[in-house]
Structure 1
Amino acid sequence: MPVIDTSQDDTSFTVVTEFDAPVERVWELWADARQLERWWGPPGYPATFTRHDFTVPGRSVYWMPGDGDVHPNYAAWSFVDIQPPNALEVDNGFADETGEPVPGFPWNRFSVRLEADGPRTRMTVRVAFGSAAELERMLGYGMREGFLAALSQTDAILAEG
């Protein structure tokens, strides 16, 4: 899964990757909670999805092991738009175990676009925040590096078929 490009503006960052798999197969990485658990979270911090209602206006709730102090363990997604198998928009942020937002932590919106490139798939993920300060805060926690590390786990899942 080569990273083709990364970029950043005042309130967002974008990662473009390419996969040796068709769009429909890459889509399953997002749609299937069991596959998602295997890559959503950097190595050593696997996500466990306790809820994955992959519909609009569905919600997902997951937790990752962590120190529980600097980084709350639970997070949630609120699905804004789903266009199988090419597009997905999700509001994402730290939450309690029921999926309610944790006060004081900004939520972000990530937009996923999958495009066929012959037998390969190009995935563009844009993560947008409400302000430059929110973006900088989350980048300070290592969000971009964690996301890139998480993505590095997808090739093994896709290779299984």
Structure 2
Amino acid sequence: MPITAVTKDPENLTLTVVADFPVPQQRLWEAWTDPRQLERFWGPPFAPATFTHHDFTVGGRAEYFLTLADGQKWSGSWRFTAINPIDSFEASDGDDNAEDENLPAAIKFHFEATPTGSRMISINSFESLEAMEETLPGMEEGLRAALPQLDALLTEDKD
């Protein structure tokens, strides 16, 4: 399992997730910045993601939807606020995510090399304690289901 730590910090309204992968930092970065690769792991297996727009530039947007088991679609988006190639990127929750007001207001992804490969650290910031408490159970379940898909993608033979 790639997730090595999940830290809930109600005082700072954050959820931090740490995951380790047996690949170089550059490879991990590429998976997070390529929409076709993101589609293979962003949504959990029971709600796969489809990215319809992905402008990975500061001020650009990523737009996606998750397809639920009953065929319904849940839309989401990010607005990229900072990009530091291969090391980090930050995004704010898209304005059109009104379907779920409790989503994190901002998310920061950090990538670093480790002795055995690379590490991803995501820090999700919430607007309120209520939003955080309501979102965390489903969000943690989704991450625990989605990130093993990233692990499988990263370790595929790239022939």
Q: TM-score range by the shorter chain?
A: 0.7 to 0.9
The residue that corresponds to 1:84 in the other structure is 85
% identity of equivalent residues: 40
Corresponding residue to 1:134 among 131, 144, 150: 131
The residue that corresponds to 1:151 in the other structure is 147
State the secondary structure of the residue aligned to 1:27.
Answer: helix
Measured against aligned partners, the alpha-carbon deviations of 1:107-152 in whole angstroms (never above 9, x if no partner) come to 4211111111135101111111011111012125x01110121111
Quote how far apart the aligned CAs of 1:81 are.
0.8
Q: In structure 2, do the counterparts of structure 1 residues 131 and 16 end up closer, same or farther at CA, with 3 Å as the change threshold?
A: same
Measured against aligned partners, the alpha-carbon deviations of 1:20-44 in whole angstroms (never above 9, x if no partner) come to 0001000011110000000001112
Aligned length: 153
Q: Distance in 2 between matches of 1:52 and 1:124?
A: 21
Structure 1: segments with no counterpart, 5+ residues: none
The residue that corresponds to 2:67 in the other structure is 65
Give the TM-score taking structure 2 as reference length: 0.87
Q: Distance in 1 between matches of 2:100 and 2:21?
A: 36
Q: Distance in 1 between matches of 2:19 and 2:97?
A: 29
Quote how far apart the aligned CAs of 1:104 are.
6.3
The residue that corresponds to 1:45 in the other structure is 47
Q: Distance in 1 between matches of 2:64 and 2:99?
A: 17
**Quick one: which amino acid aligns to residue 81 of structure 2?**
V
**Quick one: which amino acid aligns to residue 51 of structure 1?**
H
The answer as to whether partners of 2:60 and 2:79 remain within 8 angstroms in 1 is yes
Structure 2: segments with no counterpart, 5+ residues: none
The answer as to whether partners of 1:92 and 1:107 remain within 8 angstroms in 2 is yes
Quote how far apart the aligned CAs of 1:72 are.
6.2
Q: Would you identify which runs of 4 or more consecutive aligned residues in structure 1 move more than 4 Å?
A: none
Quote how far apart the aligned CAs of 1:74 are.
0.4
Q: Distance in 2 between matches of 1:30 and 1:62?
A: 14
Q: Does 1:106 align with 2:102?
A: yes
Give the TM-score taking structure 1 as reference length: 0.86
RMSD: 2.0
